[in-house]
Each structure stands twice: as C-alpha cells, then as structure tokens.
Amino acid sequence: MANLLTYCAGDPLQPIALIRTPFPDKFSIPRQPGLAPSVTARIEFTGDFDHLASIQGIEQHSHLWLLFEFNQHRDHGWRERVRPPRLGGNKSIGVFATRSPFRPNNIGLSVVKLVEVVREPEVALVVAGADLLDQTPIMDIKPYVPYVDCLPDARSEFAQAKPAPLSVHFTDQARLQLSEHQQLRPELGAVLVEVLSQDPRPAYHASKNPDKRYASRLYDLDVHWHVRDQQLWVTAITGDHD
C-alpha cells in the first residue's frame, strides 16, 4: 500500500504530444485501430518533448503503440459494466473485459502504422490507421515488436474477427461532391469507404431505427448517409463553405 500511495502522490501524467486526425467528433471514428488504413494522422510533440533525440531510431519500427487519454471522458466517471457494440449494445460485461472509454484512468491503447518521421520545422510523426479523436493527448509511444506483440493463438470470443463491412454507395449528387472535394483531399474517397463501411451507427439503431438519416463529420466536411438493405448510401458531402 505504501508504494501505491507514493505513486498516487507523485507528479501527474502529462501528455507528450497531440494527435491530429480527420475526426473532430466521436461519431464515425472506427471502433478499433487499423480498420481505416487510408486515414492518416499527425502526432505533434509538445513542450519539453519536442526534441528530435527522443525519436531517434523510431523509423526502424513499422508500427507503434500509442498510449492516450480518453480526454472527453475526464468528467464522466467510470463504469463497472459497459455495453460493447460487438454485443449489440444490449448485453453488459465488466469494463476490464472491454476497450470501453469509461475506464478509471481514461487510458487507451492503439497500434498504428508509421508512415513518416518529420524532423523539421517541428518534430512529428505521420501515422496510418488511427482510431482517435482529433487533438487526443498522447501519453506515451512504444514500438510494436512483432515477435512478442503478435500472438497467432490469442483468442477473443466476442471479437475474434472484424465485423462484416457494409457496402458503401454514392448518389449522383454525392459522387459529384466527392470529386470536387478530392481536389483538395485525394484520399477522401478511400477514407469515406473505409470509415463508413464499419457501420458507425449505435448498435441498437440497426434494428430499432433502420430508416434514420445520419451525418458524419470528417475533416471539415459533413457527410450525410443512411443504410438501406445492408447498403450504406452517401447522399451528400458538404463543406463549411459550400
């Protein structure tokens, strides 16, 4: 107990960086890392951690573990039992058996692919496949080491394989708008398909509100869509200046 009290009384954890992602809102963020590999994000080091020496040799690793804070849950408290989307949002299990953000210490863990090391004018890392809210505080970065981190015989009974994706389609209007916005963001089409095919709807909406219309905020765009017969249709893509 003495060691625990000493730890709790010590200096609080502090972020080493912020991550910039296309997700200004929680809605539509992929529920796991790597499900939208075309999504790139930029990790920008802050304060005393903005030093090139701290990332020397990091390019020797293809993937990185990010330890981050669920900062929007600071004032929400934690829950002993939560309802994972993979169980339909109707069955509750213990929080430590899930990756729910409603945790005692708000700590999350994601693996991302390292795309680029930026050395000037500021130190930064470009990564792919992140599932984090824009400006999420990064608490630590560690290399992904395949021979110990990849466990082929590991199992997860309710999340053994990723969910079957929805097929994503665009109306004529949405396809025209996509073409216009791709002049600035060439990756937009791939990002939209990868993100929306994961079915961002709350789990219980699929059965209780099948005709509901949705809007996802990606980058500075509002993407309007709905699901019909297990097909997701994008109906409009509008920007702040449209």
What residue ranges do the domains of the chain occupy?
A: 9-149, 167-239
pLDDT score at 135? 95
Flag residues of the chain having pLDDT under 50: 1-2, 4-7, 9
pLDDT score at 231? 93
* Amino acid identity, position 186: P
* Amino acid identity, position 52: L
Q: What is the CATH number of domain 9-149?
A: 2.40.30.70
pLDDT score at 60? 96
Long-range CB contacts (within 8 A, 24+) of 25-30 = 25/133, 25/216, 25/217, 26/72, 26/133, 27/200, 27/214, 27/216, 27/217, 28/195, 28/196, 28/200, 28/216, 28/217, 28/218, 28/223, 29/131, 29/132, 29/133, 29/200, 30/131, 30/194, 30/195, 30/198
Separation of alpha carbons 146 and 159, rounded Å: 21
Query: In a 10 Å sphere around its CB, with 0-12 CB exposed, 13-18 middle and 19+ buried, how is residue 73 labelled?
Result: middle
CA end-to-end span of the chain: 59
| pTM exceeding the 0.75 threshold for the entire prediction | yes
pLDDT score at 5? 46
pLDDT score at 133? 96
Domain 167-239 in CATH 3.40.50.460: no
